[in-house]
Amino acid sequence: MVPSYQKETPCADAVRLTNLQKLCDNTRNCPHLTGVVACSPLLRCTPFHRHPGFRTRAEFLPYQDRVRLAYRKADASLKTWSQCISIRMILPRSWDMYRDPILAIDGSCAIILACHLNLFLGTISMVRKERPDLVPMMLQALNGDIFGNYLMTEIGHGLDAYRMETTATKVEDGFILNTPNAAAAKFMPPTTPYTTRPKFAVVLARLIVGGEDRGIPSMGRARGFPRRSFLRVVKAPL
C-alpha cells in the first residue's frame, strides 16, 4: 500500500502553503503588531501543524519512507518560512523557524534544516560578494528547490578535522576530490539519497596543489556529478 502522503501532488501542498503564506503577509502588514516579530512561530504553529506531512505517523513507515517524509516536512518548512529567511542568516527573523514547536515532532526534519541553512548556506553566504555566481544556487536553496549539506565528519575521525584524509587535488580544469580509504568517507546525518530534490554540499578536504598540502578549505560539489566537475573553493583555508 502506498502511504497516503505519497499520493498527494506538490500542487496540493502549494495550495496549503499559499494559505499559510497569506497569514504571514497579513501579520507582517498589521499596524497593531508593531514591535512584534512579523512571522512569530506562535502565530504560525496553529495552521502549520495541519500540513499532511506533520500529521503522518512516521514511526509506522518503512525506513526509506520516513526519510522521504522528513524531507517533505523540511521542504514545507522552507516554503512556508521563505519570506522570513535572509541569505545573510543574521537577522532575528531568520531564526524564528527554529522556534516553531512543530519541529519537535520530527527531529530528523530539524537536523535537515539546520545543516541546510546554518552549515551549507551559512558557509556559502560568507563569500557571496566574491562569488556572485553562487547566488542563484543560494536562492534555490532558500526556496527548497535543492538541499545542501556540510561534509566535514569522517567515519574514521569524527570531528577531528586535523586528521582529515579526504583530499582535493588541483588540476588544470578544477579539482579532483578523493576519498583514499573507507575511514575517510564523509558522514553527516542528511546524506541519505532518498529525496526528490538535487543535493549539493560544502565539502571539507585537504587542498593539494603541486603535491603540497595547503590545509583544509571548503569545497562545493553537486551530488551525482563526476568528481572532476563542480568543485570550487568557496572558503579560505581554516
For residue 148, with 0-12 CB atoms within 10 Å meaning exposed, 13-18 middle and 19 or more buried, which class applies? buried
Of the candidates 162, 40, 52, 26, which has an alpha carbon nearest to the alpha carbon of residue 101?
Answer: 40
Number of domains in the chain: 2
pLDDT tens digits along 197-217: 888 888 889 989 998 888 887
Range of the structural domain that residue 175 is part of: 148-235
Q: Are residues 160 and 218 in the same domain?
A: yes
Q: Are residues 84 and 62 in the same domain?
A: yes
Q: Are residues 23 and 100 in the same domain?
A: yes
User: Which range (74-83, 104-113, 161-170) has the least confidence?
Assistant: 74-83
The CB density around residue 64, as the number of other CB atoms within 10 Å, is: 11
CB of 127 within 8 A of CB of 134? yes
What pLDDT is stored for residue 183 in this prediction? 92
Of the candidates 109, 8, 111, which has an alpha carbon nearest to the alpha carbon of residue 52?
Answer: 8
Q: Are residues 115 and 177 in the same domain?
A: no
Where does a domain end: 145, 173, 196? Answer: 145
Higher pLDDT among residues 111 and 21, named by residue = 111
Q: Are residues 64 and 179 in the same domain?
A: no
What pLDDT is stored for residue 220 in this prediction? 53
Indicate whether 20 pLDDT > 90.
no
Q: Are residues 134 and 190 in the same domain?
A: no
Which residues partner with 168 through β-bridges?
177, 207
Indicate whether 68 pLDDT > 80.
yes
